[in-house]
Amino acid sequence: MIGLSSNVGVMESLKNSAEEQQPSSPLNSWSQIQEPSRNHKQKLAGGFVLVHAGAGYHSESKAKEYKHVCKRACQRAVDRLKAGALAVEAVAAALVELEDSPFTNAGMGSNLNLSGEIECDASIMDGKTLHYGAVGALSGVKNPVLVANRLLIEAQKGKLSAGRIPPCFLVGRGAHDWAVSHGIPPCPSEKMATNGAGGEIGHRTQTDKEETHNRVNM
């Protein structure tokens, strides 16, 4: 959902030429970032932050909201980079912004499974070290990317006691328990689900049952 190329201590630079090249889709947003030169001989080093609202169907009536959350995510990453954060830290911050929005299928307001619960996937990778962290089918955590990022951080510390390799990909209950044991607070699925998501899953479940019943009777 996010791509980032950057340098530490960067400054956002939105030039007219860059603005003309911005994606026209309301589901995408990007910000160009550039580091000012300390002297005339030093070449400018820059980069960009790019996010999108996820694959799949998106309601045209919510295009404005999609665009706003993407812009906020870009700005969050740029702000972190300006403050001296690493690129991977800026990526995590941008993804938290997307997960906190009820308009994206990530974190808060995600699609429900047939049991009426939210299960999320998230992953993050350090392009320099190639270490990564990922979670799958994770319930009860508001920001799954924070768990993935913590897995990445722990993996970068090296081996555990007795030469054990730290986990980099956890799923389900094991991912939830690991997150809580590492200081990431739990959040009940009912607090993460929106009313719209609950109504939609109920309608689809009933429709599926009716279709199955009709096929059996035929």
Averaging pLDDT over each range in 37-41, 52-56, 85-89, 187-191, which range is the top one? 85-89
DSSP 61: G
* Alpha-carbon separation of residue 59 from 27, 199, 201 (angstroms): 10, 16, 16
3-class SS of residue 149: helix
Q: How far apart are CA 181 and CA 160, in angstroms?
A: 16
Mean pLDDT of 14-43: 53
Q: How far, in Å, CA of 158 to CA of 211, rounded?
A: 52
Question: In this predicted structure, what is the pLDDT of residue 210?
Answer: 54
- For the record, the structure tokens of 7 come out as 């340098």
Q: Which two tokens stand for residue 98?
A: 């997307």
Instruction: Supply the pLDDT for residue 189.
Output: 83
Model pLDDT, residue 155:
95
Which is more confident, 183 or 24? 183
Enter the tokens of residue 171: 């799923």
**pTM for the predicted model, two decimal places:** 0.74
Nearest-CA neighbor of 183 among 155, 131, 143, 156?
A: 143
Which has the minimum average pLDDT: 4-13, 56-65, 74-83? Answer: 4-13
From CA 105, how far away is CA 111, in angstroms rounded? Answer: 6
